[in-house]
């Protein structure tokens, strides 16, 4: 019983590096792991990934020091470049990455409406010929009608 009481605090207190603070998890979700796995830093699941462990340790130390999110972001951008962002910032040239999907959706919608409207209009060649069709004499037209009538009789 004494052993169980003595071991209880060890089960409750996490070991160093085992748990990240909630703030560190929130900030870490905005960065990519730089090991090349293309996963978010807090979700990198490579066995023995030393890159994510190092980055998470730096992140946790910065949060423990009380650094702001902006300071932590600048620290990672200075160390790894802008490719560390999980999503591009909504400013400057990367704003194009945020606006292009909307632009493409609009252009695609306009294209679909245009194509459908063209399909619905009958082409000029399919319209019924009038009695004074140029290039076809009245005699040829009458012979063609008579032949069509004979071939469609039951």
Q: What is the pLDDT of residues 21-78, one digit of tens each?
A: 788 888 888 898 888 788 888 888 877 788 888 888 888 888 888 888 889 889 988 9
- 23, with CB counted inside 10 A (0-12, 13-18, 19+), is middle
Q: How far apart are CA 76 and CA 52, in angstroms?
A: 12
Taking the domains of the chain in order of start, what are their residue ranges?
A: 12-87, 88-123
Say what the pTM is: 0.49
Burial of 48 (0-12, 13-18, 19+ CB in 10 A): exposed
Q: 29 near 41, Cβ under 8 Å?
A: yes
pLDDT at 20 over 80: no
Q: Residue 43: name the closest of 62, 76, 66, 20 by CA.
A: 20
DSSP state of 12: H
Residue 154 predicted with pLDDT over 70 = no
Mean pLDDT for the stretch of residues 126-135? 58
12-87 CATH choice from 1.10.10, 1.20.1050, 3.40.50, 1.10.8: 1.10.8
| Separation between Cα atoms, residue 117 and residue 21, nearest integer Å | 57
Mean pLDDT of the chain: 80
141 vs 149: CA distance, rounded Å: 12
């Amino acid at each position: 019983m004494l052993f169980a009481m003595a071991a209880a605090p060890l089960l409750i207190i996490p070991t160093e590096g085992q748990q990240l603070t909630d703030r560190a998890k929130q900030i870490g979700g905005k960065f990519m792991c730089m090991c090349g796995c293309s996963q978010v830093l807090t979700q990198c699941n490579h066995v023995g990934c030393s890159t994510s462990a190092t980055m998470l340790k730096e992140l946790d130390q910065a949060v423990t020091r009380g650094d702001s999110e902006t300071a932590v972001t600048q620290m990672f951008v200075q160390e790894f470049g802008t490719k560390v962002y999980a999503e591009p910032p909504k400013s400057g040239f990367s704003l194009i990455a945020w606006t292009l999907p909307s632009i493409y959706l609009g252009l695609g919608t306009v294209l679909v409406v245009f194509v459908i409207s063209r399909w619905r209009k009958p082409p000029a060649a399919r319209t019924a010929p009038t009695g004074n069709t140029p290039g076809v004499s009245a005699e040829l037209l009458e012979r063609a009608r008579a032949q069509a009538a004979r071939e469609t009789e039951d």
